[in-house]
Amino acid sequence: MRRALTIARTPGVPLGPNPRVGCVLLDADGTEVAEGFHRGAGQPHAEVEALRALGGPATGLTAVVTLEPCDHTGRTGPCSRALLEAGVSRVVYAQDDPFEQAAGGAATLRDGGVDVAGGLLVDEARAVNRAWTFGVEHGRPFVTWKLATSLDGRSAAADGTSRWISNEAARRDTHRLRGECDVVLAGTGTVLVDDPQLTVRDEVDVPLPRERQPLRAVMGLRDVPAGARVRDDHAETVHLRTRDPHEALAGLRSRGRVHVFLEGGPHLAAAFLGAGLVDEVVAYVAPMLVGGGTHAVEGLPVTTITEALHLDVEDVEVVGLGPDRNVRLTMTPRTPRTPRAAGEGER
């Protein structure tokens, strides 16, 4: 199973409406004879890729899969049927498929006489598809809010300058995190004032190829000038003409997006936080005191300490070298989230 999880994470597979899945075929002695992974929506699923790599009958083999084999016909046929027809005698999978329309493969395989076991390394499997699983269960994209702040909670000085509160290592780390998402979202205010490019860039600050870029989403009612950097040809851009975070996420969900990297200003951050739509916070804290200036969050509806939004710290790491090292805090808000009764997803 660990090998299946490894190939499910194969670099270059785009995020999107389909989960990442790996499959390994074993013979009676437990020796690997073939493997495959899903390469994206519309492409053959991992089980079919492994069977193709085998190049012959799978009679008596065991299929080890990171996600319950699907049981429906979408862009591709049901993997449960493909495994049955190939003659696989046993299937071991990690995560139950939360997508209602695709689930049921385990039952179909059992009805066909296959020995089926589920739940092996399920937590690791869910981690591979954290955003996709969240989207199916909650009906919206997973939202990571990133901020860079001084020790006294300022994102910019009194004169509006903000370059650079975070150090170079933190900025590079931000690009790594952007590259793990399929949307980078900012508000029209940030775009008009700062003119960011909102792309993923490499170690020498060159944007990665367009096909590897997340969607750039600009949220707000004001027009974005044609010459704005966010409108260049380095990545696709969509303008979400709304101030409602729920509506914005619904629009991104309809485009098959599963993980939003929120890089808007302090008011946009407050809107998402106030709506309970931030699922992860990544804060780069610089060892500096600015005094006045822009708060990292503006307009959060908190008037007394008992109304404070609490976060659980998941990870703390020092980023960079030398005296200007930053501290990266990864946190999750304690705001309860209500799962959907039935999920949505491509599969």
Closest by CA to 88, choosing from 57, 60, 50, is 60
Q: What angle do CA 294, 296, 297 make, to 5 degrees?
A: 105
Catalytic residue among 35, 47, 280, 344: 47
For residue 109, what are the CA distances in angstroms to 68, 70, 196?
10, 10, 51
Does the annotation count 263 as an active-site position?
no
Query: Rounded to an integer, what distance in angstroms lies between the CA atom of residue 68 and that of residue 262?
Result: 31
The tally of CA atoms less than 13 A away on the side-chain side of residue 150 is 19
Query: Rounded to an integer, what distance in angstroms lies between the CA atom of residue 91 and that of residue 68?
Result: 9
Within 10 A of 130 (CB to CB), how many other CB atoms are there? 15
Query: Rounded to an integer, what distance in angstroms lies between the CA atom of residue 207 and that of residue 235?
Result: 9
Query: Rounded to an integer, what distance in angstroms lies between the CA atom of residue 290 and that of residue 223?
Result: 32
Mind giving me the DSSP string for 71-101? -S-SSS--HHHHHHHHT--EEEEEEPP--TT
Residue found by looking up tokens 């992860």 in the block: 280
DSSP-derived letter for residue 97 is P
Asked if residue 325 lies in contact with residue 284, where contact means CB atoms within 8 angstroms, the answer is no
What single letter denotes the amino acid at residue 156? A
Task: Enumerate the active-site residues.
Answer: 47
